[in-house]
Amino acid sequence: MKANINWKSIKTVLLDMDGTLLDLNFDNYFWQEYLPIHWGSLNNIDALSAKKQLRYWYAKEVGTLSWYSLDFWTERLNFDVLELKSDVQHLIKYRPHAETFLQRLNESDFFVVMVTNAHEDLIKMKIEKTNIDIFFDRIISAHTIGHAKEEEPFWKKLQLEVPFNCDETLLIDDNLMVLRAARKYGIRNLLTIEKPDSLRPEQETAEFDAIYSFQDIIF
């Protein structure tokens, strides 16, 4: 579906970070390849079995705060997950035209808020690599709110933290479960991302309008 945004009706722009503004390749590579292999070698488990075990554990936590919590995985796997993440931080980069888009938003009158399920320490690592914080009025982590974005209470609590009018708000997020929760809450303008990971095929964007790059909606 092609995206069509009426910018004149928008006051608040809520933007996800990973897979939306930044390439999801960093996170996918880390969780699907790098971490299982590292964990396997620490525990004398071959790469294939390690990946299978990790996939099983991930599937149990999908859509919850635990899935996005470095503390949870650090405790479960018994090594410092954040430290391991820093090994592959060269893979942290912007998605196509994301920086230009953020620059334009920043120069306009929109209230621009990052809403991310990422852990605060990981946000810090990504800021160090990209300076992405300079474009935002506020940066909100689901870990501060106490609910993942996939859960409806997240949106109620977010609105107390950052007042916004649902009709005048645009949310861009690559995660369809998140968009469904936001739609249920009443957020009017929703967009998703066709290709969150530069090295993987496009995702099935289902009932949501999707953009390929931010050039599609630059104003």
Binding site for Mg ion (CB under 5 A): 16, 18-19, 174-175
Task: Considering the complex, state which of residue 19 and residue 36 has its C-beta at the smaller distance from Mg ion.
Answer: 19
Cβ neighbour number for residue 203 with a 10 Å cutoff: 18
Closest separation between CB of residue 53 and Mg ion, Å? 24
Whether 183 and 201 have beta carbons less than 8 Å apart is answered as no
Closest separation between CB of residue 44 and Mg ion, Å? 34
Tokens (6 digits) for 199: 């090295």
Closest separation between CB of residue 45 and Mg ion, Å? 29
Task: Considering the complex, state which of residue 50 and residue 115 has its C-beta at the smaller distance from Mg ion.
Answer: 115
Task: Considering the complex, state which of residue 51 and residue 95 has its C-beta at the smaller distance from Mg ion.
Answer: 95
Query: 111-120 as b/e, with b when 16 or more CB fall inside 10 Å?
Result: bbbbbbbbbe
Closest separation between CB of residue 128 and Mg ion, Å? 19
Whether 32 and 50 have beta carbons less than 8 Å apart is answered as no
Q: Which of 203, 207, 211, 113 is nearest to 219 (CA)?
A: 211
Closest separation between CB of residue 43 and Mg ion, Å? 29
Closest separation between CB of residue 42 and Mg ion, Å? 28
Q: Which of 72, 84, 71 is nearest to 42 (CA)?
A: 84
**CA separation, residue 36 to residues 66, 67, 199 (Å):** 17, 15, 19
d(CA 23, CA 91): 8
Q: What is the DSSP letter of 202?
A: P
Task: Considering the complex, state which of residue 50 and residue 171 has its C-beta at the smaller distance from Mg ion.
Answer: 171
d(CA 79, CA 215): 40
Task: Considering the complex, state which of residue 23 and residue 174 has its C-beta at the smaller distance from Mg ion.
Answer: 174
Residue nearest to Mg ion (CB): 19
Task: Considering the complex, state which of residue 12 and residue 175 has its C-beta at the smaller distance from Mg ion.
Answer: 175
